[in-house]
Amino acid sequence: MAVSGTGLAFYGLDRRSALPRPSIEPRLPSFLTRINDAAKSKVLTIQDYFTLAGKSLRFIFARPFYTQDVIQQMDEMGVKSLGIVLLTGLFTGMVLALQSSVQLKTFGATMYIGNLVSASMIRELGPVLAGLMVAGRVGSGIAAQLGSMRVTEQIDALNTLGTDPIKKLVTPRVVAALIMLPVLTVINDFVGIIGGNIIASLVVGLPSSQYWRTVWDQTANGGFVLRYIPNDFIMGLFKPLVFGGLISVTACYFGLGTTGGTEGVGQATTKTVVTSSILILIIDYFITQLLLSVLNYGG
Amino acid sequence: MVDNAPPKAPDSRDSAGSADDVGDRRGPDRRVDTPASEGRKSASVRQAIRSELEQDEPEDANAAAPRPRADSTPVVEMDHVSLAFEQPILEDVSLAACEGETVVLVGESGTGKSTALKLILRLLVPDSGRVLIEGQDITHLSFEEALEARQKMGMVFQGAALFDSMTVFENVAYPLREHTKMSDDEITDRVREKLEFVDLEADRVMQQMPAELSGGMRKRVGVARGMANNPRIMLYDEPTSGLDPLTTGTITRLIMKLQRELGVTSVVVSHDIRASFRMASKIALLHEKHIAFFGTPEEMTASEDKYIQDFLGGL
């Protein structure tokens, strides 16, 4: 008997023969069978997720190349997300400067606002906030679009017309996200630091030249890779790269696996935003831990 | 009158035994009719169908579906196919469509008609049995090989399944751009030709988005897209569902025109008995996971089988 799941089996992720039911299963008590089924279902979900991610990455190098679709998705994810990323970055930088000015004033160290804002923005808040914003705006959009295509049989139509839906729909979105999320993050970081500059000048009265010098000092103090690339930049760009892949694959996974009509589309969208937001926060911790031990910080 | 088992078409060898299944499955809730009342009922059913057919527009007189040729070989064949997910969906289903034939798969809702089409398209893999397209067993093809094999077939989906982010032109041109090296001019000519074949004004609709079209127009664009690559096999999933009677007639005539003028082999899933009888060379009736009948429309109306008569009585 076939194991039913997210419905991705149609799309080259055929798991008809995966994990066959053992013959002793009927003898198990019902609660054990349920636990067994639940565990199996979770394992299959993870297997599907990574198979989808693997296939979408492998298709980057396989003909035909859907360049037009990649450009369209880059516009959709990057250019159209610019507004919310600019606003998020600006106000995060401003509030960071404001809060830190209060704390630093007690030590008479308000000249270090630039250090604090730049370290926070480049290493953490820039990538994470851009990731969360894109997960909310773009991830939900992808899941809703692919989910609608699934329930209106457009995905089946692609298959029928001899096109691999993963190559046509998933790969361009993953590529676009891998490119655009780091770009958005850099913009977010930069605007955040400018926001900090505005508050440092207007509220604290710190000259801009001193602010920017502390920003650079902070970046330089973090150490360099290959003598010229600041460690902060490595951390600040590696994270959005991972988040971009994570958001796009999660959204495509839930979108393609949509079942149950329009209600299913809504559920796919919600699952995408919740799952990718949580994964961003969890994975952020582990990437930070990893990079702090790999990169020679302060060295 | 023939006996209780429905007659078989010459090449319907695979459906042997299925007729008995119908008799076996007469549930206790079915009415018990006397032979005399059954005779009267089947006569009235036949009369109803004939009168329905006679009401068709005059041009249909020349557009009658060609009858099967006894010597032709199957182009689409399901050979003892079974499929189950959480529960059995199809069991030992066999049917065959020979070159130029239109086989209409009818049955109650939820009997696995659309699943059968997905098996033919190799969107699903049967648990047992084989599906053959032009003699090639597609059951064990890899995903990539299946994509290749599907290009022999054109599919028209229930809701047309047009790509809503593309214009009508881009939709019809899609298979050409994907799988041929045709120039832009050749593609434009082909799209225009196909849109005109389905009685759409190419210049008017080409740049429209699918959302701007009516249901019937979307279906016709779906047919145009399905036939863009000139496939020799066309599959239709409920082509007339959700359409008004006039548009239903238009779509039915279009399917017959494809068969008559281009000689394509068609498998149509439908629950519209009237339209099915107009276009079918053969009819396959799915009932409780099995093929309960497979033969010509005439043989179906002549059948004395209780379930078939009940089914036709639902006209």
pLDDT tens per residue across span A183-225: 999 999 999 999 999 999 998 888 889 899 988 888 888 777 7
How sure is the predictor about B43, in pLDDT bands with cuts at 50, 70 and 90? low
In this predicted structure, what is the pLDDT of residue A284? 95
pTM of the model: 0.79
In this predicted structure, what is the pLDDT of residue A26? 55
DSSP state of B264: -
In this predicted structure, what is the pLDDT of residue B167? 94
Q: How many CA atoms lie less than 13 Å away from A260 in the CB half-sphere?
A: 10
Q: CB A164 to CB B147 under 8 A?
A: yes
By the 8 A CB rule, do B93 and B129 touch? yes
Q: Which of B86, B118, B175 lies at the smallest CB-CB distance from A161? A: B175
B282 beta partners: B103
Of the listed ranges A209-218, B28-37, B48-57, the least confidently predicted one is B28-37
By the 8 A CB rule, do A183 and A175 touch? no
Enumerate the residues of chain B whose CB falls inside 8 A of the CB of residue A163: 147, 178
Pairing of strands B233-237, B265-269: parallel
B137 beta partners: B132
B239 has a pLDDT exceeding 90:
no
Q: CB B151 to CB A162 under 8 A?
A: yes
In this predicted structure, what is the pLDDT of residue B20? 36
How sure is the predictor about A86, in pLDDT bands with cuts at 50, 70 and 90? very high
How sure is the predictor about B23, in pLDDT bands with cuts at 50, 70 and 90? very low
How sure is the predictor about A20, in pLDDT bands with cuts at 50, 70 and 90? very low
Which residues make Cβ contacts (< 8 Å) with residue B214, sequence separation at least 6?
none
Q: CB A10 to CB B174 under 8 A?
A: no
B28 has a pLDDT exceeding 70:
no
How sure is the predictor about B163, in pLDDT bands with cuts at 50, 70 and 90? very high
In this predicted structure, what is the pLDDT of residue A111? 84
Chosen for mutation from A1, A161, A166, A169 (greatest number of chain B CBs closer than 10 Å) is: A161
A224 beta partners: A230
Identify the H or E element spanning A229: strand A229-230
Of the listed ranges A242-246, A281-285, B18-22, B233-237, the least confidently predicted one is B18-22
Percent helix, strand, coil in chain B (nearest 5)? 45, 20, 40
In this predicted structure, what is the pLDDT of residue B29? 37
The beta-carbon contacts of B84-89 under 8 Å, at least 24 apart in sequence, are: B84/A1, B84/A2, B84/B127, B85/A1, B85/A2, B85/A4, B86/A1, B86/A4, B88/B289, B89/B115, B89/B289
A242 has a pLDDT exceeding 70:
yes
How sure is the predictor about B5, in pLDDT bands with cuts at 50, 70 and 90? very low
Of the listed ranges A16-25, A72-81, B43-52, the least confidently predicted one is A16-25
A107 has a pLDDT exceeding 60:
yes
B183 has a pLDDT exceeding 80:
yes
In this predicted structure, what is the pLDDT of residue B10? 38
B155 beta partners: B235
Identify the H or E element spanning B155: strand B153-156
Enumerate the residues of chain B whose CB falls inside 8 A of the CB of residue A4: 85-86
By the 8 A CB rule, do B175 and B223 touch? no
CA quadruple B50, B53, B54, B60: dihedral sign: negative
Q: Which of A12, A152, A161 lies at the smallest CB-CB distance from B174? A: A161
A279 beta partners: none
DSSP characters over B97-133 = EETT-EEEEEESTTSSHHHHHHHHTTSS--SEEEEEE
**pLDDT (tens digit, 9 = 90+) per residue, A49-85?**
999 999 999 989 888 888 999 999 999 999 999 999 9
Enumerate the residues of chain A whose CB falls inside 8 A of the CB of residue B157: 153, 156-157
In this predicted structure, what is the pLDDT of residue A22? 42
Of the listed ranges A182-196, B26-40, B60-74, the least confidently predicted one is B26-40
Percentage of residues of chain A with pLDDT beyond 90: 55
- How far is it, in rounded angstroms, from Cα A252 to Cα A249? 5
By the 8 A CB rule, do B273 and B53 touch? no
In this predicted structure, what is the pLDDT of residue B9? 39
Enumerate the residues of chain B whose CB falls inside 8 A of the CB of residue A75: none
How large is the average pLDDT for residues A12-29? 47
- What is chain A's mean pLDDT, rounded? 86
**pLDDT (tens digit, 9 = 90+) per residue, B187-214?**
999 999 999 988 888 889 999 999 999 8
Q: CB B161 to CB A154 under 8 A?
A: yes
Of the listed ranges A251-265, B9-23, B111-125, B266-280, the least confidently predicted one is B9-23
Of the listed ranges A121-135, B13-27, B217-231, B236-250, the least confidently predicted one is B13-27
